[in-house]
Amino acid sequence: MEAAVEHAEDASSVVSGLVSFVPNVMARLFRCWHANMSQPFSRGAETYRTCVACGGGGRFDLEHRKMVGSFYYPERNFVLYDETP
């Protein structure tokens, strides 16, 4: 009986791994490829570059002239219409 429970837990972890893997692959295929990046700009001690197409950005290492770390996407606050009188 314990073997069946352990086997079910193993299968569950494989399925959950696939469920998280497939959307990541799809996002990488169909999301912006960041081909049109801005010139590096600095704010304080940090230097950044942003994608002109999607607005995603990341840190830029001036010494090595390359992007470092992970990309981030700005929070989007969409307002369809203003309800103020």
Of the CA atoms within 13 Å of residue 59, those in its CB half-sphere come to: 9
pLDDT tens across the length of the chain (85 residues): 555 445 445 656 655 655 566 655 665 667 787 889 999 999 899 999 999 888 889 999 999 999 999 888 877 666 666 666 6
User: How confident is the model at residue 41, as a pLDDT?
Assistant: 92
User: What is the reported pLDDT for 49?
Assistant: 94
Q: What was the pLDDT predicted at 33?
A: 79
pTM, to two decimals: 0.51
The answer to whether the CB of 36 falls within 8 A of the CB of 52 is yes
